[in-house]
Every structure is written in C-alpha cells, then in structure tokens.
Amino acid sequence: MPEPDLAGDDDLVGSGADLEPGTLLAAYRTGLFPMPVPDSPTMLWWSPAQRGVLPLAGLKVSRSLRQSCAKYDIRVDSAFDDVIRACADPERDGGWITEDVIEAYTRLHHDGWAHSVEAWDQDGALAGGLYGLAIGGLFAGESMFHRQRDASKAALVALVRAMSDEHAGERLIDVQWKTPHLERLGVVDVPRKDYLVLLQGALELPLPEVFSS
C-alpha cells in the first residue's frame, strides 16, 4: 500500500491490489481510496493533494434547500443496493462505479462498514441518496445521486445532522474532491498533510449512533 504522505503533488498515488474488505479498510485508514478509470488494467488508488472535506459546522443550507429537506423522509441503510446501483448508472456523466466496485462495497455494507443515506418522497419512491464508509468518526463519501430536486443534498444534510453529536468538531466527512456543486454546500479544500492529521483524530472516535446499531 503506498504512503500518501510521500505522494507529492500527484492525486494518483498507486495502482494494483484488490478490493477485499481488509484492503479497502486499510486504505481508507491511511487516506487512500480506489477509483478505476477507463482502459486502466488495474485499480487506481488516490490521495488528493487537496482533499475535499465538509466541516460539519460549515454546512451551508439555503432557504430553498431547507424547504426541500422538509419534503423528504430520510432513512439509513434501507436501500443500499438501490442507492449504489443508482450511483453507478452508466448513463451518468463521468460514471466510474464498476461491477467490481459495487460488489466490494456491497460486501462492506453487509459487514457493517458501508452505509447509505436515502431521501424518500411522499409517495414512497427513492428520490436520491448517497453512500460511503463509516470508520470511527470518518465518513468517506463515495457517490450521490438524485431523481428529484435537492434529494441528494437532503441526504447530505441529514448525514451532517446525524454526525453532529458531542464529537462533531472532530468528525470528518470526506468527499474526495471539491466540486463547484459541493463548494456551495460548504466543502473546502484541505492539504493532504492536514487531512491525514484530521483523519487520525477522527479514526479514534466512536461511530455516530446512526451507524452503530
């Protein structure tokens, strides 16, 4: 497993290895995550020089988003398979979630590590959601999707609220890279060196109650 603190300015830090649960958990605990790219014969491992992080206290909820949140019923881990399949929809731009990735994270879900946060509409339809790994005080967000307005954002707002307990100041929501969409919600760039310090502190925390049952 490559050492991310020796990776310099490159986001890509290694290739190869497998997607077994032990490999994945060890990777996240050292600041790495896997993401395949087209035409690559092996899995690629990333540790961005500038890591996208959502500080819990920095979440930005607009008035319109607050109104949208009130329309959805939020559930956790009630439809993980549906969420990861929706995130992997091949018609989405920039899709990267392969069958191997689906299988690996579904296995982690069954083992209690990977979780989904879902937004359901008033008719009982899955409107949007997100999934990722929860390890101690880290939630490593992998992907999100929406079928209705603001549904994925509502799931993210719910995630932040669920993690905002007595350890909120040290918990860590990692979104990999900051995008304009995520920046509007409060995501900031954190240099890799600082991220690794935050990560080690977060890993020492207990799971949020929402993921510990």
Residue-range domain boundaries for the chain: 49-212
Protein fold of 49-212: Aminopeptidase (3.40.630)
170, 205 contact by CB (below 8 A): yes
Q: Is the pLDDT of residue 8 over 70?
A: no
Q: Is the pLDDT of residue 2 over 70?
A: no
The pLDDT of residue 202: 98
The pLDDT of residue 7: 60
185, 60 contact by CB (below 8 A): yes
Answer yes or no: pTM beyond 0.85: yes
**166 or 3, higher pLDDT:** 166
Rounded to the nearest 10°, the torsion over CA 136, 198, 109, 4 is: -130
The pLDDT of residue 92: 80
Q: Is the pLDDT of residue 1 over 80?
A: no
Q: What is the pLDDT of residues 68-122, one digit of tens each?
A: 999 999 999 999 999 999 999 988 877 789 999 999 999 999 999 999 999 999 9
The pLDDT of residue 5: 59
The interaxial angle of helices 99-110 and 21-29, nearest 10 deg, is 90
The interaxial angle of helices 80-87 and 99-110, nearest 10 deg, is 160
CA distances from 110 to 76, 99, 101, 103 (A): 14, 16, 14, 11
